[in-house]
Structure 1
Amino acid sequence: MQYLKFIALFSAAGFTTINCSEPTTDGLITALKENIFGKTEIRPVINLKTPTNISVSFTLYGILDVHRDQWTWEHRNQLTWDHQAQDWDPVKCGTDRISIPRKQLWRPDIIINEFIDENKVPDTYYLYVEYTGKVMDDLPFHVISSCNLDIYTFPFDIQNCTFTFNSYQHTGDVQLFFVEPVEETLQNSLSVMKTKGEWELVDMLAEKPPILPGNLNITFDTLIYYVVLSRRPTMYVVNLLIPSCFLIAVDLFSFLLPPQNVDRSAFKMTLILGYTVFLLLMNDLLPVTGNSLPLINVFFSLCLALMVASLLETILITNIQCGFTRYGPLPPWAKVLFLNYLAKLVCLSKKPSDQNCDPEGESYHAKSNKSIDKHFKTDESTEEWMHLGQVIDRLVFCLYTMFLSVSFITIFVYWLYWYNKTASLI
């Protein structure tokens, strides 16, 4: 009953044109105190069935920080609405615009749903009011909001963060509208953008969803801004991708080291250890949250797997080239398969041995000296095992090069495909 009496009193006393006693600011303030100030409990409309139209303007000033899925933004929102009990004659009152304390007027409870922390900017204490009853509330924000990350194409990813405006308590009696086209909002944001760091503002979209009934048939008018951001990948390409490509190239060309003369396994072990330390040091540059595993993680895992496979191949070749002392002469089928066919396939055919001695004299001495004959057979078997290791090493080198090329091309094509697909969807 008291609330209805207050509404009736407010309607009878307040919804008229304000008359100033003198054409000065003091006269206008005095008239506003008598007619408007303190009446903040109800919406400023003559008929409570009439909705209050709130015009929303959004300007993005910068992206200050990104920690996992929490983004720190700096932006400014301007809310504009009509106060139907607050118009005056600018000639009689001496001004057509005035600033008054915010706490003296009714203000809409417009919130942004994605905010997960309070505003870090000091409160603004004044509103601007025009003689027509138009009220402008300019609100700066420095807040943290949530944004779902799609990091599949990191560091060439594009993110789409939303800002959803709606009233916290008012239902259909508060209607929201855009002040300007979203193209103009984008241009204004680009012109005042302060930060030029990791993220680049590439586009903005806006949408006003149709009002849908919620619980108990309560409806809320909503405005949504979509802020499309593209990551600047230069730092990640220079610090992550290029060093990885260099290290995998070193591992590839390490096949040119002769395993019988150089400890190739120690070199490859050192390379793997260095790459592991590199990944640990660069781990802070990688995103830790998201909806999917980034392709760059697949790239790093592939590089490490190829290095480990290369080390295992070196161990195998070293074991083969010492095969005579363990396994005896090379089996005939291995000679045919590896030393004849595969050797020709990898362009590593065995050169015929030079025979500078007289055949008859050599045969005579071989038959007459069993120790010399045994020595020749040992040298021949050792040479065959060495040649087998060289053939397998050359074959694995060719397969390694082919697999590395195909894998890298596939990953980069897939990267490009998903980047273009994401950009087209946004």
Structure 2
Amino acid sequence: MRQPWRFILTSGFFLLAVYLCQCDLTCKEGHSGPTYESMQTVFDRISFRPAVNLSNPTITNISFTLYAVLGVNEKTQILTTFLWLRLYWHHQFLVWDSDACGGVTRISLPVKELWVPDIIVYEFVDDDVSQQCPYVYVNHTGHIRWDRMLRLVSACNLEIFSFPFDVQNCSFTFGSYMHTIKDVRLTPALSFEEMSGNSKQYLEASGEWELVNIYGETSVLKFGIDEWDIITFWVVIKRRPVLYVVNLLIPSSFLMLIDILSFYLPPHSVDRASFKMTLILGYTVFLLIMNDLLPSTANGTPLIGIYFSVCLALMVISLLETVIITNVLHSNSKKYREVPHWVRVVILKHIARMICYQWPEELVQPSASRGSTQDDKTDRPNPTTSMLIPLLFLGPGVVSSVPELRQICQDLSDLRAHLTSMQKEGVLQEQWCHVGYVLDFLLFRIYLLLISCYAMVIICMWCIWINQ
């Protein structure tokens, strides 16, 4: 039962092939170009692949020029580009003798009247809304060239960790939607170096992105028992970081520099904590304003976002350091508490020597001069004592009998006690001030070390990504 049907189908395809072979275009004498009637015969067979022998695949050549990068959406992982796409294929029924047709070697025909290979981009995620070119160029040998503008919205795995110094590598896979490798074969019309050079001429001075390179390969896509011929182009683009460096990195660096310089404010006479709190508030407002410039994605956080977060954390740490120093400087107000012995040994001796703390001149005098000063103070008569000496010769009875003299003695005793307490308070305050200054110097150097290490790590990571 199957043999007659197989014979009929084979005979039908053979007769169709013989009939199509006789469909070369004809020309009338005195007219240039093929006749309308002969071309209409070809137009009526638009549904058939234009091959005399259907077992031979139609060779389609592809090339494109990347004209512009219209948008990169990191959150949805979508790349929008504008391509100038050019397709070449051979139509074996659109062939004529140029000598017999008045020397016409090329004509333009409407693309809707011809068979067109169903080439698509596998990564597309949205419809093409660009203007379509309604005509194609047909050579007298049957070779067709179709130029079209393509607004391509494609999926791409966007890496934003090194933003704004990021380099993106997106793939464009061209292939037939329906025809397998037995019907349509794909080859690049130009070399990948030529396509990359042509694209750089148009993309060099446009937009935020610059083209690094275009390279690709041809391969076969297998799905079940069917195989499709595909061409994969990898488009490597790099972001121009000047806008983000000027608007994000430089202002943030200036605020961090001001935070570092605020350590030079004297902590005992200036409210350094209020200044740092104002600086943190300004940095927070800066981050809120510049939040729209930062890319957002669920896959990860860009390095610049980590940079801003760490900068804010460092500002908070510097504020905590100021709170600690302020608390140390006001420790003497707690009932004139003396500096503990271990604090004198650890902070005023070892740590001060380690950080090269410069002591005041009156504290670094030689021991001999300090001893002579103490002797001078000892030998020097006390004003209160000198005033009491004449009263001792009057006798206790006289002093006690005169109310005015007794009041004078009481006032002098109170004055002496007040002067003694003030002297003790001054000594304690001076000791606590030096403890606070030594801690301030130590924490400031640790803060500078943290910022320096952090800046080196950030710069090295960005340089590694740039070189890649």
Secondary structure of the 1:330 match is coil
Secondary structure of the 2:451 match is helix
Cα distance change on mapping 1:290 and 1:98 into 2, 3 Å: farther
Q: Which is further off, 295-304 or 361-370?
A: 361-370
d(CA) in 2 for partners of 1:194 and 1:350? 61
Matches within 5 A, 1:274-293: 274-289=282-297, 291-293=299-301
User: Residue 358 of structure 1 is aligned with which of 376, 387, 393?
Assistant: 376
Query: Counterpart amino acid of 1:109?
Result: D
Tell me which residue corresponds to 1:72. Answer: 80
Contact 2:204 2:210 in 1 (8 A): no
Tell me which residue corresponds to 2:96. Answer: 88
Query: Counterpart amino acid of 2:185?
Result: Q
Query: Counterpart amino acid of 1:146?
Result: A
Matches within 5 A, 1:301-340: 301-326=309-334, 328-340=337-349
Q: Are positions 1:380 and 2:427 aligned together?
A: yes
Tell me which residue corresponds to 1:128. Answer: 137
Tell me which residue corresponds to 2:254. Answer: 246
d(CA) in 1 for partners of 2:90 and 2:269? 89
d(CA) in 2 for partners of 1:402 and 1:6? 86
Contact 1:23 1:92 in 2 (8 A): no
Q: Which is further off, 125-134 or 363-372?
A: 363-372
User: Residue 111 of structure 1 is aligned with which of 117, 120, 125?
Assistant: 120
Q: How far apart are residue 403 of structure 1 and its match?
A: 1.4
Query: Counterpart amino acid of 2:189?
Result: V
d(CA) in 2 for partners of 1:99 and 1:90? 15
Matches within 5 A, 1:19-418: 19-22=26-29, 24-25=31-32, 27-34=34-41, 36-68=42-74, 69-94=77-102, 95-172=104-181, 173-193=183-203, 196-209=206-219, 211-214=220-223, 216-289=224-297, 291-326=299-334, 328-351=337-360, 352=362, 355=373, 358-361=376-379, 369-418=416-465
d(CA) in 2 for partners of 1:126 and 1:245? 56
Contact 1:83 1:135 in 2 (8 A): yes
Secondary structure of the 1:376 match is helix
Tell me which residue corresponds to 2:407. Answer: none
d(CA) in 2 for partners of 1:79 and 1:135? 8
Cα distance change on mapping 1:191 and 1:101 into 2, 3 Å: same
TM-score of the pair, normalised by structure 1: 0.91
Number of corresponding residues: 418
Contact 1:366 1:373 in 2 (8 A): no
Contact 2:34 2:101 in 1 (8 A): yes
d(CA) in 2 for partners of 1:386 and 1:52? 90
Q: Which is further off, 409-418 or 359-368?
A: 359-368
Secondary structure of the 1:246 match is helix
Q: How far apart are residue 6 of structure 1 and its match?
A: 7.7
Contact 1:148 1:290 in 2 (8 A): no
Cα distance change on mapping 1:96 and 1:28 into 2, 3 Å: farther
Secondary structure of the 1:139 match is strand
Tell me which residue corresponds to 2:397. Answer: none
Secondary structure of the 1:93 match is coil
Cα distance change on mapping 1:155 and 1:194 into 2, 3 Å: closer
Cα distance change on mapping 1:10 and 1:99 into 2, 3 Å: farther
For the aligned residues, what is the CA RMSD? 2.5
- For structure 1, which runs of at least 5 residues remain unmatched after alignment? none
d(CA) in 2 for partners of 1:116 and 1:144? 6
Q: How far apart are residue 72 of structure 1 and its match?
A: 2.4
Q: How far apart are residue 147 of structure 1 and its match?
A: 2.0
Contact 2:203 2:210 in 1 (8 A): no
Q: How far apart are residue 264 of structure 1 and its match?
A: 0.5
Q: How far apart are residue 18 of structure 1 and its match?
A: 2.4
Deviations 1:73-119 (A, max 9, x none): 21111111111222111122232111112122111100011222222
Secondary structure of the 2:68 match is strand
Deviations 1:370-422 (A, max 9, x none): 544333222222221111111100111111111111210121012112321x2
Contact 2:173 2:233 in 1 (8 A): yes
Secondary structure of the 2:228 match is coil
Cα distance change on mapping 1:189 and 1:250 into 2, 3 Å: same
Deviations 1:1-44 (A, max 9, x none): 9998985664233223322233535753221113x112122211
d(CA) in 2 for partners of 1:260 and 1:194? 57
Contact 1:149 1:291 in 2 (8 A): no
Secondary structure of the 1:208 match is strand
d(CA) in 2 for partners of 1:59 and 1:301? 41
TM-score of the pair, normalised by structure 2: 0.83
Query: Counterpart amino acid of 2:213?
Result: D
d(CA) in 2 for partners of 1:130 and 1:249? 69
Cα distance change on mapping 1:88 and 1:26 into 2, 3 Å: closer
d(CA) in 2 for partners of 1:196 and 1:384? 65
Query: Counterpart amino acid of 1:50?
Result: N
Query: Counterpart amino acid of 2:312?
Result: L
* Percent identity between the two aligned chains: 41
- Whose Rg is larger? 2
Q: How far apart are residue 333 of structure 1 and its match?
A: 0.8
Cα distance change on mapping 1:254 and 1:192 into 2, 3 Å: closer
Tell me which residue corresponds to 2:389. Answer: none
